[in-house]
Amino acid sequence: MIRAVIYHDTLGKIKGFKLKGHAGFSEAGKDIVCSAVSAIVFTALGGLDELVGFRNFKESDGFIECHVPDNLGERESYVTDIILKTMVIGLRQIETNYGKYIQIRYEEV
């Protein structure tokens, strides 16, 4: 199972995220849940890099974690929030249909 944690502040602004594990829907290379989650997360990371200008994440097999820098300007913070909220929408849609393979929880930081 993929376990996702979305970090947010008291106002609901996303401050980062962590995903751990493998979906286990199918064998490696044929796992549509893993592929969908990876596509959504890496698209968000690409957007953060190209549109905001930061690459603040760690990745290894079955693990990825990203933290939003505290020193973003108003525009960068706004764009970051939209990108990450869109990522969470996509992950929730996968969880709705494949909740046995992905679980999302929220943690205030």
Q: Which tokens in the block code for residue 80?
A: 């970051």
At 19, the pLDDT band (50, 70, 90 cuts) reads very high
**CATH class given for the domain over 2-108:** alpha beta
Q: For all residues of the chain together, what is the average pLDDT? A: 96
* Alpha-carbon gap, residue 25 to 10, rounded angstroms: 34
Q: What is the pLDDT of residues 47-68, one digit of tens each?
A: 999 999 999 999 999 999 999 9
Q: What is the pLDDT of residue 29?
A: 86
- Count the Cβ atoms, other than its own, within 10 Å of residue 41: 21
What's the burial of 101, exposed, middle or buried (CB within 10 Å: 0-12/13-18/19+)?
buried
